[in-house]
Structure 1
Amino acid sequence: MAENKKEPRKRGKKEKKGNKFALGVAVLGIVFVVGCYTVKANTYRTKFFPHTIINGIDASEKTVDEVRQVMSKQIDNFESKIRSRDNNDEIIKGSDVGLAFVEDSSLEDLLHQQNSMAWIANMSGEKNLKIKSSFTVDDNKFEDTVSKLRAFDESKFVAPVDAKISDFVQGSGYSIIPEVEGNTLDVKKAKEYIKSQLIVLNNDINLDYEENDLYEKPAKRSDDPTLNLALTNLNKYISARISYDKLNVLNGDTIHKWLTVNSDGSVNISDEGVESFVKTISNAYNTIGKPKTLKTSYGPTVTISGGSYGWKVDTEKEKATIKSLIEAGETTKREPEFSRKAASHGENDYGNSYVEVNLTTQHMFVIKNGSKVLESDFVSGNVAKSWTTPPGAFPLTYKTRNATLKGEGYSTPVDYWMPFNGGIGFHDAPWRSAFGGQIYRTSGSHGCVNLPPAIAKQLYDYVDTGFPVLCYNLAPTAVTPEPTESSSSSESSATEATVEPIGDTTQAGEIKSAVEIGQ
């Protein structure tokens, strides 16, 4: 039994020895690997990792001195292509600018940034590194060489030009003229840029990269929103076509002369331009004060000057309307805005309905639609007292019943009051027993046209506000008007009172003041 117990103890000792040996081998292996790794890592304390590029130079497995040697050799044959706007490429050699290598600590600093113990992780993958500067240039040589480049020839500089709106072109309107980029360099800034690229050995220096911002730029380009807004507004405004019967069409050929562009793209329409055009409209349409011809009921044709009857353009309203139509780019045919209107735009603006007042024969006719409907003698202003009724063409101002004509110390009621020239008008004169003839010369009115009451009543029914009243003088002739069945006349054998009151009249609750020569 004792012998069987001793054998297991011998085997245990052998096993322990074997385990210790294996452990020792493993430790030695680890130490070897670590040693090898460390040795390799120590290599990258003095050399750059594989695939390291510094300022374009392959620095793989090279020391700082070796990299410096490569950099120094680059200077011997270095040249850089200078590309600029509107010039052929130009070449600068390193020797032309005194390019020289600078031995500073930049490479050492870069090497110290390497984690040499991480060399396995850096065995693949390119590492493109930069240092601030390892080269310098001679300032005098640099200035002399660079200043001779065509890109810096200021006599060849073309200044930038802003995009702008073209002049008006008949038939096509406005367009945008594109900007001109020009080739004017910021000389100081461009030289600094070239120098910064030479000292990092950039062999392709492009001055025209937009991000370099070396060239003067136009302040406004074709896609400028404000410029395009102005273009839209201008072409809209000149698209307006406004037609008048008596004028040529108002269109862009004229409108464009009135337009100015504001800095925000809005467009102003010249008040002076529109006002001038409205004067042209007024000259074409206004008839107030212009001579009018009348073929009298006596035969001869007379010319009537003066008076307030006719067309008159409302200039302020017309200006505002024209502006609004231009701003909307409207095409329209229109009649002007009028402050005073007449019966017709024909040769005679009073049309074919009017009161014809012959101051010489003291006889009047009422013409309606070309036919005589009423006639009568009357008494007009007293010539002897210089109260003569003025000739001219006038619109009936209004008509009213039961007015009171007032003068200094007088207050005379009338049944029918129809003023047409200030305080001068038609009214019944029941105090007179005769009308016509020569009464008016010494016993006439203060300027009004006195009518027999029955005639005044009929006249009141025929006329209304604005009805034309044509007063004229005509020497008596052998030609006398033939009375019609519808016309009435009165005897002219009596005289009227020597004084007639001057009055105020009332219509629709308003007090109307008559002029002193009136009734």
Structure 2
Amino acid sequence: MSENKEQPRKRGKKEKKRMNKVALGIIVAGIVAVVGAYSVKANTYRTRFFPHTVINGIDASEKTVDEVRQVMSNQIDNFESTIKSRGNNDEIIKGSDVGLAFVKDNSLEDLLKEQNSMAWIAEVNGKRDLKIKSSFTVDPDKFENTVSKLKALDESKFERPVDARISDFVPGSGYSIIPEVEGNAIDIAKAKEYIKSQLITLNSDINLDYEDNDLYEKPAKRADDPTLNTALNNLNKYISARISYDKLNVLNGDTIHNWLSVNSDGSVSISDEGVASFVKKVSNAYNTVGKPKTLKTSYGPTVTITGGSYGWKVNVEKEKAAIKSLIQAGETAKREPEYSRKAASHGENDYGNSYVEVNLTAQHMILIKNGSKVLESDFVSGNISKNWTTPPGAFPLTYRTRNATLKGEGYSTPVNYWMPFNGGIGFHDAPWRSAFGGQIYKTSGSHGCINLPPSVAKQLFDYIDAGFPVLCYNLTEATTAPAPTETTAAGSGETKASVETKATEATVEPISENVNPPSDNQSVEIEQ
């Protein structure tokens, strides 16, 4: 029994070994078959292109070089390309029109050599879009004759590009940007080269307006240009300014836009000439210096005073600067002009109701305060016989000072109170005189100054200050004294008649002393 059990066990082991050998053989055979099949396929792709291969737009999948070349060659017979251009309808070029011909070279062979046939399994599902320089050529003469007739290259039909720009000023809305115009002007030489390059690769859809081609002339400036938009913002800011004056129409963008110019960096300049022309209008409206002034005299008649330097005078440079600044800020403002000289009032008579009335004919001075007489006196003016006549006119008091020495040709005169109003002519005390008024001035007058009694000079000095109006005028010889008018001397409580020919004194309200130095051109020495 034991022998019989041993034999089946030995037969089972042998059977397993035999079966393992068979299986191994099958596996080896399978590997050999697979390797063989892979090698066969790899060998195929030594002469054929991989699947999904496109060469110059031609499907070369699984094709040999000759087969691809044949397809390319066959394409010539019916080939045509659509030319798309800016502003024109599509145009057609046929291969025969340009002498399109197949060129046999080694470009396809070179592509095939670059193909790694042993890697075919990795490339089976991949897409390969390959290019060769060209397998085609064109006839130069036919090409030139055909392409030159394209509407896209007709220079007579070109519209040149136009830069984006800022519009003209429009009342009520200001400025805006007018967009650029692209135009259709093309670089003809570059366009021809591009068309040729596409034809010899059998491109059936040639777009000349493709951005990367860079064939068309371009505007130098477009609507989104930062400098252009900076200029636009500046312009609209400047014209938004509104500057008003009591005596003029409002200055606004309707006028300001004429003064503006744009710089290359987008900044905006304001014309000096334009601003100056406007400030001239301001000056004409506000200046009263040198303009005739009427005065209802204390003697009754109304006189017209011409000449002199009293009045309003606009400071042109300061006013120009102020206007420019307001425009640049785009501000709304109501202005009183900048002045280099000021007067008391903007009324009909700029000297107001406080002034010194100097009747050169009557040789009588009257100080008016707030419309009332507060001081009056006879005086002696310039010597007519020596041609030192005191000139009429309206003047502002230049300054006032104490203890001055008046110098001129042949004289040097110390005075206690010096109040010039017309260059070297002014009020001062004259203690050396015993009489004032009458006809003294005609033969024994001053060098042009108004000589006053010392006490009157002191009171006048205490009242008037720099800028105070001094109105000098002449009347007929028959009018020598003021009309009888009773006034109350300020602070005295007394009533006096203003008809005396000698000095008539009154008490005035003193003001704080403001001693100003003489100007450099005055021949005056001040005692220290």
Aligned equivalents of 1:402 and 1:10: distance in 2? 158
Q: What TM-score do you get using the length of structure 2 for normalisation?
A: 0.89
C-alpha contact 1:48 1:60 (8 A) present in aligned 2: yes
TM-superposition CA deviations, 1:142-174 (whole Å, max 9, x none): 111111111011110000000111111122211
Paired amino acid for 2:290: G
Paired amino acid for 2:75: Q
* 1:284 matches 2:282: no
Aligned equivalents of 2:522 and 2:62: distance in 1? 119
> 1:152-301 alignment to 2 at 5 Å?
152-301=153-302
Give the corresponding residue for 1:357: 358
Give the corresponding residue for 1:498: none
Paired amino acid for 1:281: V
Aligned equivalents of 1:147 and 1:313: distance in 2? 71
Bigger drift between 187-196 and 407-416 goes to 407-416
C-alpha contact 2:406 2:523 (8 A) present in aligned 1: no
Aligned equivalents of 2:362 and 2:517: distance in 1? 37
Q: What TM-score do you get using the length of structure 1 for normalisation?
A: 0.90
Bigger drift between 474-483 and 48-57 goes to 474-483
Give the superposition deviation at 1:23: 4.3
C-alpha contact 1:452 1:490 (8 A) present in aligned 2: no
Give the corresponding residue for 1:109: 110
Aligned equivalents of 1:513 and 1:103: distance in 2? 104
Give the superposition deviation at 1:20: 5.4
Give the superposition deviation at 1:341: 0.4
Paired amino acid for 2:484: E
Aligned-residue RMSD, C-alpha: 2.6
Give the corresponding residue for 2:486: 484
Aligned equivalents of 1:113 and 1:513: distance in 2? 102
Aligned equivalents of 1:14 and 1:372: distance in 2? 157
Bigger drift between 97-106 and 14-23 goes to 14-23
C-alpha contact 2:436 2:452 (8 A) present in aligned 1: yes
Tell me the secondary structure at the aligned position of residue 469 of structure 1.
strand
> 1:408-423 alignment to 2 at 5 Å?
410-423=411-424
Q: Between Structure 1 and Structure 2, how many residues are aligned?
A: 504
Give the corresponding residue for 2:394: 393
Aligned equivalents of 2:241 and 2:86: distance in 1? 44
Tell me the secondary structure at the aligned position of residue 389 of structure 1.
coil
Tell me the secondary structure at the aligned position of residue 450 of structure 1.
strand
C-alpha contact 1:314 1:339 (8 A) present in aligned 2: yes
Give the corresponding residue for 1:370: 371
Give the superposition deviation at 1:480: 4.2
Cα 1:357–1:26 change in 2 (3 A) is closer
C-alpha contact 1:163 1:178 (8 A) present in aligned 2: yes
Give the corresponding residue for 1:497: none
Give the corresponding residue for 1:135: 136
Paired amino acid for 1:144: N
Paired amino acid for 2:132: I
Aligned equivalents of 1:480 and 1:424: distance in 2? 24
Paired amino acid for 1:277: F
Cα 1:458–1:205 change in 2 (3 A) is same
* 1:144 matches 2:133: no
Give the superposition deviation at 1:107: 1.2
Aligned equivalents of 2:460 and 2:137: distance in 1? 112
Aligned equivalents of 1:292 and 1:477: distance in 2? 23
Tell me the secondary structure at the aligned position of residue 28 of structure 2.
helix
Give the superposition deviation at 1:103: 1.3
Give the corresponding residue for 2:325: 324
Cα 1:430–1:103 change in 2 (3 A) is same
Give the corresponding residue for 1:447: 448
Aligned equivalents of 1:484 and 1:336: distance in 2? 40
Cα 1:46–1:482 change in 2 (3 A) is same
TM-superposition CA deviations, 1:248-295 (whole Å, max 9, x none): 111111111111110000011011111111112112211111111112
Aligned equivalents of 1:447 and 1:119: distance in 2? 122
Paired amino acid for 2:216: Y
C-alpha contact 1:54 1:130 (8 A) present in aligned 2: yes
Tell me the secondary structure at the aligned position of residue 486 of structure 2.
coil
Aligned equivalents of 1:419 and 1:11: distance in 2? 151
Give the superposition deviation at 1:203: 0.9
Aligned equivalents of 2:59 and 2:337: distance in 1? 87
Paired amino acid for 1:209: Y
Aligned equivalents of 1:477 and 1:358: distance in 2? 13
Cα 1:16–1:316 change in 2 (3 A) is same
TM-superposition CA deviations, 1:18-51 (whole Å, max 9, x none): 6656544543443333222222221111112222
TM-superposition CA deviations, 1:461-508 (whole Å, max 9, x none): 332211111111111336842143436676559xxxxxxxxxxxx945
C-alpha contact 1:178 1:221 (8 A) present in aligned 2: yes
Aligned equivalents of 1:247 and 1:14: distance in 2? 127
Task: Give the unaligned 5+ runs of structure 1.
Answer: 494-505
Give the superposition deviation at 1:60: 1.9
Paired amino acid for 1:329: G
C-alpha contact 1:382 1:446 (8 A) present in aligned 2: yes
Identity of aligned residues (%): 78
Aligned equivalents of 2:12 and 2:250: distance in 1? 129
Aligned equivalents of 2:35 and 2:502: distance in 1? 152
Paired amino acid for 1:248: N
> 1:42-57 alignment to 2 at 5 Å?
42-57=43-58
Give the superposition deviation at 1:405: 3.2
Cα 1:511–1:124 change in 2 (3 A) is closer
C-alpha contact 1:243 1:250 (8 A) present in aligned 2: yes
* 1:119 matches 2:120: yes
Tell me the secondary structure at the aligned position of residue 420 of structure 1.
strand
